[in-house]
Structure 1
Amino acid sequence: MPTDAYSQALQSLSDLGPLRVWSLLVTVFGDLAPDQPLNGPTLSAIMGEIGIKPEASRVALHRLRSDGWVSSAKQGRNSLHSLTAKGRSDSDAARGRIYGGGQATEAVAILMQGNTELDPTRFAQIASRLFLCSSTEPLPSDAMRLTPDSLPPWLGSQIETEGMRDAYKSLHAVLTDISEELDQDMTPVQTAALRVLIVHAWRRLTLKHPDLPRTAHSPDWRGHDCRALVQTLLERYPRPALDAIKPA
């Protein structure tokens, strides 16, 4: 069992959901090395601190290379791993949702001509042909835009799933504990591991649904509160220099 606040933080974040190693590596590159190579020993130190075995990391890296997301090159006895153009493009596309402080302040409804399916991470379906999205979201060319004067209190239960509400409640509890309990000095590799797990837990939720204002959600929705805590913690524990990260 964890005996200190840092170890408890890593354990609690890891327990929020299954850690798919390839997805965790996406977070590592996106948060710690979006525009520079990451050498093998540094990557191993970060993954080892999180508790990922070297064999699992190698398999996950192979998958990301096969998907055209990461490239690797030898440098002496070590390897350098970098995001490809595709990896950088995909990472940059999600960066605003993950790190952006500006949340949607207004929602619009759109009416489609016929029955259609829209991206559920951008548009919340309210009824047949009727969707809700952020006022800044680019709309389909055949959509009729409707601007409601107000949003009804029943809307949250219509567009939220119980699973997503519960997931945000769990994340909010963990982030609150970290914010209140973790006050110890940390090494660069510890800071890197903590950041990666915070961003990963947040990323796997916030990218699954549209960015809508708080007024569109039910009182039990903790998504906006989690965003504020994530920003506070990432500011408290800034990204360490890669050359300072050493095995614990």
Structure 2
Amino acid sequence: MAEDGLIAGILDGLSLRSAAFIVTIYGDVVLPRGGVLWTGTLIEICERVGINESLVRTAVSRLVAARRLKGERAGRRSYYRLDASAQKEFAEAATLLYAPDIPAHGWQILHAPALSEDDAHRLRMGHLGGQVYIRPDRGQPAPRGAVLFHATDPETLPALAGYWDLSALQTRYLDMLSRFAGLRNAGRLHGLSDADALVARLLLVHVYRNVLLRDPRLPATVLPPDWKGAEARDLFRALYRDLTPKAERHIAARFEGTDGLLTETTPESTTRLAGIA
């Protein structure tokens, strides 16, 4: 079927780790609908992208050990909900994905002796040297123990991009644009089943999130003229909006929590869609 080929094209060559995809499912679908999902539903949706039951159960065990999911039982069924320790992480990712973009106002320059290299990378900071870092100023709080300075745009603005590996991010954005090019055709979107619309939306979120969480979101004045980040964001928002009616119809028909089928929409899912629009 045409839609089968469309999903297969998105999946072609995509390195899809079980635990990471389950995180995508919880972040995009489950979090706005109470945060808990039946294991059977999780297995069913993962099978559609080639992740079998054994891999799902192994990944869930690892996520429980990492305190990102927490198991519970109702009768003979097992359910997993977001662990309280993962709520902040999921909420921060959701803000980046679904909320309107916050423009930067100048720069933060931080002297952060206690900041590890891994934490600096996670916070998408540029390394100026020694214990000094830089990032666009969007009102983020300083890491513990850091001294924060605010700076306006310097005269050497274009040179600031050199403190981040933009080439790796550009490659990821180009891959995303190529991978989802087939979904740009409205006629092909119309032919998708409800289930495949949800799979396509989950894959869209998964691929985009994996690059967005690494992107420092530098001001346009710093970025190279052929930068694809804005184009990828526009594609994400347009496709997410167009896929959502069918995707959420499938959620309401097949996704089960402890109280039965999940609802098609919630105030949080509606807010997300409004933020994208």
TMscore range, shorter length: 0.7 to 0.9
Alignment deviations for residues 127-175 of structure 1 (CA, whole Å, 9 cap, x no partner): 3235132333223551221111666334435423322211111112223
Q: Is the 8 A contact 1:111 1:131 kept in 2?
A: yes
Alignment deviations for residues 76-116 of structure 1 (CA, whole Å, 9 cap, x no partner): 44322211212323211211112223143444141538796
CA 147–14 in structure 1, closer or farther in 2 if over 3 Å, else same:
same
Q: TM-score with structure 1 length normalisation?
A: 0.84
1:237 corresponding residue in structure 2: 243
Is 187-196 or 143-152 further displaced after alignment? 143-152
2:176 corresponding residue in structure 1: 171
Report the AA paired with residue 244 of structure 1.
A
Give the one of 5, 8, 13 matched to 2:10.
Answer: 13
How far apart, in 2, do the equivalents of 1:206 and 1:163 lie? 12
Report the AA paired with residue 183 of structure 1.
L
Q: Is the 8 A contact 1:45 1:245 kept in 2?
A: no
Task: Summarize the alignment of residues 212-231 of structure 1 with structure 2, pairs less than 5 Å apart.
Answer: 212-231=218-237
How far apart, in 2, do the equivalents of 1:179 and 1:163 lie? 24
The alignment's C-alpha RMSD in Å is 2.7
Taking every aligned residue pair, what percent have the same amino acid on both sides?
Answer: 21
1:50 corresponding residue in structure 2: 49
1:69 corresponding residue in structure 2: 68
Task: Summarize the alignment of residues 62-211 of structure 1 with structure 2, pairs less than 5 Å apart.
Answer: 62-110=61-109, 112=111, 119-125=120-126, 127-128=128-129, 129-139=132-142, 141-148=146-153, 152-180=157-185, 182-211=188-217
Structure 2 unaligned spans of 5+ = 256-277
Is 222-231 or 142-151 further displaced after alignment? 142-151
What is the Cα deviation at residue 203 of structure 1? 0.9
For the residue of structure 1 that corresponds to 2:63, the secondary structure is helix
CA 64–108 in structure 1, closer or farther in 2 if over 3 Å, else same:
same
How far apart, in 1, do the equivalents of 2:155 and 2:236 lie? 29
For the residue of structure 1 that corresponds to 2:224, the secondary structure is coil
Report the AA paired with residue 135 of structure 1.
R
Is 51-60 or 151-160 further displaced after alignment? 151-160
Q: Is the 8 A contact 1:68 1:86 kept in 2?
A: yes
For the residue of structure 1 that corresponds to 2:221, the secondary structure is helix
What is the Cα deviation at residue 212 of structure 1? 2.4
For the residue of structure 2 that corresponds to 1:214, the secondary structure is coil
Q: Is the 8 A contact 2:106 2:137 kept in 1?
A: yes
Q: TM-score with structure 2 length normalisation?
A: 0.76
- Name the count of aligned residue pairs: 243
